[in-house]
Structure 1
Amino acid sequence: MSSLVKSVGTIGGLTLLSRIFGFARDMLLARVLGAGLAADAFQLAFTLPNTFRRLFAEGAFSVAFVPMYSRALHGSEGDGEAAAARFADDVLSVFLWTLLVFSGVMMAVMPGIVWILARDFGSVPGKFELAVFLSRVTFPYLALISLVAMLSGLLNARSRFAPGAFAPVLLNIVLIGGIVTGWWLRGDSHDDRIVAIALAVSVSLAGVVQLAYLWWAVRRAGLRLHLRLPRLTPEVRRLGMLILPATFGAGIYQISQFVDTFFATSLPQGSLTLLKLADRLNQLPLGIVGIALGTAILPMLSRHIHSGDAAEAQRLQSNAFEMATLLTLPAAAALAICAPAFVTAFFVGGKFTAADGAIMAHIVVALVAGLPAYVIVKILNPGFFAREDTRTPVWTALAALTLNIAINLYVVERYGIVGLAGATAASASFNCLLLYAVLHRRGWFHFTARLASRIARQIVAVAAMSALLVWLMPIVAPYYGGNVAERVGALAALVLAGGATFFAVAFLVGALDKDLVAMLTRRRGKPAPTQE
């Protein structure tokens, strides 16, 4: 467990840094562009490569590549380094050309793709054309970040998580630069298209910066990659066969993003932008906890399974599950209760109106209802991927996606963008339940009495925290829309009071694992007791 906590701490800490820069990026974006024509067009253009990135590069490719590379690296033949190097070179040689061809085709047919996802953009003069142009400018980011994901996988298999976790920080820094540059170029013209174009250019530029950084990190780790003529070796073919179903199985949340985009673009102008900005608040704990746990657990779980140590595999997933609920249950409750405060303090200002903020707060409440499920799915999926079973999650994801579409068809017309967000949360929860049911039935992972007891006690602490926040929100209401100092003070009061209450009650009722707390708070350099 100590190695899991250390890895999660490294990834989560750097992801938190990235999310802070992401917040700064979106705060600037909301104030500079608001929720209008140019903002919607950019959000669609950014959604395309970003969703494919999460779906293919960081989703299907990573969950298939890392276990295969790790098995080659830790093979018993004695030439693990050489075998892993050959496998990586073969994958790179095929992967690069596949990305180039795919990106070229997608850019050529971009008008059709934008029409499928956002055909209602055509009802607003110039909006459809701007969305197509921006999408073509941003799409090369997919090829660049996919190569970044492969290089991150090489390092993750060697328990070097920091470079891959730091790469998103570079993305947000470059995008902030793009917003500032676009704002400066726009000047007094009030032409928001200038800002959107500057942002689109900065997306692809960020991919170049991230790739250069990861290439340097890989070489610094002593690894050398060689580009050869593409060869479909048996290992590369097997990787491809694993990627195809994993594309769907690992990416229900990302596929749902396309579904949500389709429905959101049929709603009043600005709805897509409000949904994406609301998802930023939802992504903060999801990124810090979910991505960190999912990234750290996969190579560790693969090693336990390949060595035949089922008990350690069970304990690893139980520990990850407990860490996930410990952090996401209070985060979801706090975000739901304090959504008006967070949205107003962070986003309202400039072109982003108070009316926009009120709608966005309701979207946040609907989205975070599924926050624990979003994170737990990232813990349950590795239970299949580490065993190279990428097909079972396909069926659970298909069922969840079908439910999502069915709910959307009913709620979007009646409840608009808020109903759409609620459908996403419901389908993610359903997917989570299905995954656990299959793992339990196969004997790969099961709830223990200890884990259930710990989560029940966490819920008690969450209830106490929620009661305090409900009482405190009206008191700070006059301040979270005030000047900078008042906003900071109001949010600090909510965060500190809520956090202190949760952890105090959690300690009193025994919701905290003392060994886990010791490892989370241990200073660097102090030796860790053996937990595994």
Structure 2
Amino acid sequence: MSLVKKFATVASGTLMSRALGFGREMLMAAALGTGPVADAFNAAFQFPNTFRRLFAEGAFNAAFVPLFAKEIETHGTEGAKRFSEEVFGVLFTALLALTIIMELSMPLIVRYLVAPGFAGTPGKFDTTVTLATIMFPYLICMSLGAMMAGMLNSLRRYFAAAVAPVFLNIILIGVLAYAWYKGSDALTVGYGLSWGVLAAGLVQLAIVWVAVRHAGISIGFRRPKMTPAVKRLLILALPAAITGGITQINQLIGTAIASAQNSAVSSLAYADRIYQLPLGVVGVAVAIVLLPELSRALKSGNLIEAANLQNRSVEFTLFLTLPAAAALWVMSEPIVRLVYERGAFAANGSPP
């Protein structure tokens, strides 16, 4: 399979997810607008999402995929299975401990870290705490799912990992459609969306777990142990967490600052969805395919192939993202009006 075909395979699943994500955001904007429940939900969802992007899909994947690919090349499927089980045991235990601590500390975390501006509005603050408490276990599902997606990508089985995120949007669209049918109030919609996020995490984890089994690797649970391979993984993940964490930390800080103004958190979330389309379809697809392919080329000492992979990836990315960036710059207002302006979302910021 050529490099462009691999990009297209991943991009097709990502495009499906992003398109459904637009549908989800359109329905959410129509149901909640930029009101207090929309602010509470987006602030609460931002917290587990930050951890997911920072550790699971960012630093962890950047370190895990090359090591897993190396195990396949060096020790075959059995070596890769042993390595993945060692990592799984440590990762699951660490995530479980983190989730328990965060759940117990959620009121303090929301007050001082996620949305300090909500503290002066008791109803909004309490809603954010409750929604965040419901959604935070989503981190466990997505972190373990990211590990298995990295395994699939290393095995050159891209589609299942690319299509799994689609189910988050499918489930949330279903929640919003049911809420519209029942005529639910905004708070009920917020609770439904939060439980939907948790359910979607379980579904996504199940999809990649089944795909990994079909790929010939059945992961069993091992007692957590800091083996040399796991230590190597942590050593490689640390610099990736530091460098990759800047963007995620900035987003968390932006949410905290925006919480001081009504409607600002949800407005930022809706705007973020617009630029995530080209970023997800092009940038993420290229990164997912490039990492294992580049790891194999470097492992085999083929520097010419590695340079060619990198150059073709940059060319492909620029070819698609530069026109997208120009379009978003020139047509931002028509795009926002077309996508969002209906129902509870109006040009003046209040329901029509």
Q: Residue 135 of structure 1: CA displacement?
A: 0.3
Which deviations, in whole Å up to 9, do the C-alpha atoms of 1:211-249 show, x marking residues without a partner? 111111111222111112112110011111222221122
Say if 1:148 and 1:211, in contact at 8 Å, map to a contact too.
yes
TM-score by length of 1: 0.64
- Give 1:355 deviation, angstroms: 2.4
Q: For 1:16-165, what aligned pairs fall within 5 Å after superposition?
A: 16-75=15-74, 79-116=75-112, 117-165=114-162
Number of residue pairs aligned between Structure 1 and Structure 2: 349
AA at the equivalent of 1:181 = Y
Distance 2:159 2:246 in 1: 26
Of 285, 290, 315, which aligns to 1:292? 285
Counterpart CA distance in 2 for 1:249 and 1:159 is: 27
- Residue of structure 1 in register with 2:344 after alignment: 351
Gapped runs of 5+ residues in structure 1? 358-532
Pair 1:264 & 2:251 matched = no
Deviation at 1:342, TM superposition (A): 1.0
Partner of 2:190: 196
Query: Partner letter of residue 49 of structure 2?
Result: N
* 1:3 Cα deviation after fit: 2.6
Q: Distance in 2 between matches of 1:180 and 1:124?
A: 29
Residue 333 of structure 1 and its aligned partner are, at CA, apart by 0.5
| 1:501-526 alpha-carbon deviations (Å, 9 max, x no partner) | xxxxxxxxxxxxxxxxxxxxxxxxxx
How far is the alpha carbon of 1:107 from its aligned partner? Answer: 1.0
Q: How does 1:231-310 map to 2 (within 5 A)?
A: 231-266=225-260, 268-310=261-303
Q: Give, in whole Å, the separation in 1 of the partners of 2:287 and 2:348.
A: 37
Structure with the larger RCO, 1 or 2 (CA within 8 Å, 6+ apart): 2
Aligned structure 1 segments of 4 or more residues deviating by more than 4 angstroms: none
Q: How many Å separate the matches in 1 of 2:225 and 2:232?
A: 13
Instruction: Give 1:7's aligned residue.
Output: 6
Q: Residue in 2 aligned with 1:338?
A: 331
> Does residue 326 of the first structure (1) align with residue 319 of the second (2)?
yes
Return the letter of the residue paired with 1:144.
Answer: C
Match of 1:206 among 200, 211, 221: 200
Q: Secondary structure at the match of 1:126?
A: helix
In structure 2, runs of 5+ residues without a counterpart are: none
**CA deviation after TM superposition for structure 1 residue 179, in Å:** 1.9
Q: Secondary structure at the match of 1:98?
A: helix
**Paired residues of 1:64 and 1:243 also in contact (CA < 8 A):** yes
Listed one character per residue, the Cα deviations across residues 308-365 of structure 1 (whole Å, up to 9, x for unaligned) are: 22222122111111111111110010111111111111100110011249xxxxxxxx
Identity of aligned residues (%): 45
3-state SS, counterpart of residue 251 of structure 1: helix
Whether contact under 8 Å (1:41, 1:128) holds in the other structure is: yes
Rg larger for: 1
TM-score, normalised via structure 2 length? 0.96
CA distance in 2 between counterparts of 1:343 and 1:221 reads 42
Deviations 1:98-141, CA, capped at 9 Å, x for gaps: 11111111111111111122111122241111101100000000
CA RMSD of aligned residues (A): 1.4
1:183 Cα offset (Å): 3.7
Q: CA deviation at 1:184?
A: 4.3
Is this contact kept in 1: 2:7–2:286, CA < 8 A? Answer: yes
Q: Contact 2:53–2:248 at 8 Å: present in 1 too?
A: yes
Are the equivalent residues in 2 in contact too, given 1:70–1:157 (CA < 8 A)?
Answer: yes
Could you tell me how far 1:186 is from its partner in structure 2? 4.8
2:28 and 2:348 map into 1 onto residues whose CA distance is 17
Q: Residues 111, 11 of structure 1: CA spacing in aligned structure 2 closer, same or farther, 3 A cutoff? A: same
